[in-house]
Chain A
Amino acid sequence: MSGPVTRRTLLAGGTATLVAAPWVARAQANTLRIGMQSILSGPIALLGTSSRNSLLIEQDRINAAGGFLGRQIEFVFRDSKGQPQEAARVARELVNTAGCELLVDAEASSASFAVQEVMRDLNVACIHTNSETSSLTADPKIRVPTAFRVARQGVHDAVAGSLYLADFANAKKINKWATCSPDYAYGRDTTAQYLQFFKKFKPDVEVVTEAWPKLGQPDFTEVITKLIQAKPQALFTLLYAGDLSAFVNQGNVYALFGQMTVATPNVDYPVLAAIKNLPAGIQSATRYLETFPDTPANKEWGQAYFKRWNERPTNWSWQNSVAMHFYEAAIKKANSLDGKAIAAALTGLKINSPFGADGTITMRDDHTTIGYAIGWGQTIPKDPFITDIKPADWGKIIELETEWKKQQNYS
């Protein structure tokens, strides 16, 4: 008879602990906890883990240098699985339960908007490191006083890419295009922006078909054959990570890349490595490349990352690294961890960075960064993977971005 009784007691005890625990454990000691949330499982977990890897390197570096305001830092990592609802919950949990005093939101776009709404209610500094959707910071209605973005921005990339691709298309006389992008905010918005600028620079361009596969869709066959039907001269795609790899592998089966030129801004090192038969001559943006900008600082960072993790960094890696550089500088300047104080210090802050086009990156007063390196080139199947890189013109980018913001009634 003792069997069930002990089991029950155990169970009751266990349940009590479970129920009590979430609010028992507040941050102990003097360690400064920094919350980080991202996609750490699923088909694009690669990007989430590469963000985390980069932050762990930063954690060691910052702690070795004495931490923030004399306190050692410690990251608290959470997997939101990329779901907005879970992301919102996790953001609140990181601050309210785990006692984090700073946040690094390494979510993809859809979840970042959810996190942004949570930030509205919490007086904690937050840097979005991976969401490229422009409206996150550009739209004053969505902007939050204590939340910033250290990432490429869709509209910047769109201007740079369109300029490059317009030159390329003019040279090759390509005007029938198709698009194939993931069916969510980033894919939809960014494709629209690319097309808008692309048509501005090359008015005779014609979009013959659009395909919108789901994020993480296992089979792209129907999408690929649809593209083949439309017979475009070139394809523009915003697929990335596992989806891009599957798309290329399945596209190869149909010899897709012999039938049309492909342009994509989203080729990261690990994707390049994972695609076994990378077609040469894809027009590609540099997500992160050790060779661009071709400076010792950049090369050193890239190789340090490789040494520690035995794989190469992604675009998300450098963005998270820069986020910590900004925090470091801003906290020193504000001498405080208060959200508003950090926000004040961050606004307009310019830091030296290996990833800057001219060695610096600036946090503009609309909470987004400018001056990071953007370039386009074409792929080759082996190291350094992208060659003939042409850097983008930041003057032109800002000019057109301002125009675009006016159109959207953002300013």
Chain B
Amino acid sequence: MDFNALGACFTTPACVVTQATSGLIVGMLLFLVAAGLTLIFGVLKIVNFAHGTFYMLGGYVAYSAYVATDSYALAVLAGAVAMALFGVLFERVLMSRVYGSNVLMQLLVCYAVVLIFDDIVKIVWGPEFRAMGMPAAFQVPPLFIAGGVVPPFYAVLIGIAALIAIVLSLGLSRTRLGKTVRAAAVNPQMVSALGVNTTVLFAIVFAIGGGLAGLAGALAGPVRSLSPGMGFSILIEGFIVTVIGGMGSIAGAMVAALIIGLVRGFGTIGFPGFTDGLIYIVMIGILVLRPQGLFGRPL
């Protein structure tokens, strides 16, 4: 533990800006993953243990699209759309068969999917890591704000993620579909009694969740190495965010993702080598004091 360094960091604007941006970028990408996870849980009461796979596949699809078209925008779009479709397929073909059964049965199905797709990625893209490389448009020097470093690429990523967060929350509160989704999260029987086609609704929710995870994977493509099994650590962090924020709450996911991001950003200065442990302590504390999470409804 190094409280001196942490204290010194908090008193210098440069350090605060730099670490806060790095916390934001980690947090925002995490939010995209966790938002889908929490949405799916909210509506279907299913914990999607295969969510990391969407993230991984999104990254790989984007990689291939980028290699083929040389356009980052197209690559990101391809990653997101492909994963939205994959989400629907996953829901229809597999998950719909285990609705209402033991949560462990659902876990088993998801785990099988994780195993299968880790190997499919190995077969299609090879076991080696892949790197997309930075698109030419972003190969520019970083900005300096108050002496802190803010890379333009990350600023754009944060912007995109924030935009999506806004669209998502507006969509949920203003549109008919969004209202149905929220109603379904509170009372599924009521929604089907009102004549909403839950089959379609569930598929849509999985499409949104999968699309968001795929988008996160694609957005991260230029800076993170792609490798089979990379969805795993993201899944765990996504879980932590979902639980801290409250299962089913999009706003909670946003707040929790930012908390995790900032704990990482500043924890690396104050508690080098133990940032992971720090995050688990936060999670345990929240679960003990407020099991439903920051924004969750009590079960």
A291 to B25, CA, bound (A): 41
26 CB contacts below 8 A, A to B, read: A41-B118, A43-B227, A45-B227, A216-B227, A216-B233, A217-B233, A218-B220, A218-B234, A221-B26, A222-B264, A222-B265, A225-B21, A225-B265, A225-B268, A226-B19, A226-B268, A229-B14, A242-B225, A242-B227, A246-B131, A246-B224, A249-B134, A253-B153, A255-B141, A276-B131, A277-B134
Partner of B229, one of A42, A214, A245: A42
B223 in contact with A49 (CB, 8 Å):
no
A253 in contact with B223 (CB, 8 Å):
yes
User: Which chain B residues lie closer than 8 Å to A229 at the CB level?
Assistant: 9, 14-15, 18-19, 269
B 228-242 to A, binary, CB cutoff 8 A, 1 in contact else 0: 111001100000000
B122 and chain A: residue at smallest CB distance: A41
B153 and chain A: residue at smallest CB distance: A253
User: Which chain A residues lie closer than 8 Å to B224 at the CB level?
Assistant: 218-219, 246, 249-250
Chain A interface residues toward B at CB < 8 A: 40-46, 48-49, 183, 210-212, 214, 216-219, 221-226, 228-229, 241-243, 245-246, 249-250, 252-255, 258, 270, 274-277
Tell me the chain B residues, 219-267 only, with Cβ under 8 Å from chain A: 220, 222-225, 227-230, 233-234, 264-265, 267
Most buried by A among B129, B229, B234, B272: B129
A103 to B25, CA, bound (A): 45
A45 to B128, CA, bound (A): 6
Most buried by A among B153, B220, B223: B223
User: Which chain B residues lie closer than 8 Å to A226 at the CB level?
Assistant: 19, 268-269, 272
Is B133 interfacial (CB-CB < 8 Å)?
yes
Chain B interface residues toward A at CB < 8 A: 9, 14-15, 18-19, 21-23, 25-26, 29, 118, 122, 127-134, 138-139, 141-142, 149, 151, 153-154, 220, 222-225, 227-230, 233-234, 264-265, 267-269, 272-273, 275-276
- How would you classify the secondary structure of chain A's contact residues: helix, strand, loop or mixed? helix
Total contacts A to B, CB within 8 angstroms? 135
B12 to chain A, nearest CB (A): 8
A274 in contact with B229 (CB, 8 Å):
no
A245 to chain B, nearest CB (A): 5
B128 in contact with A270 (CB, 8 Å):
yes
A43 to B151, CA, bound (A): 25
User: Which chain A residues lie closer than 8 Å to B19 at the CB level?
Assistant: 222, 225-226, 229
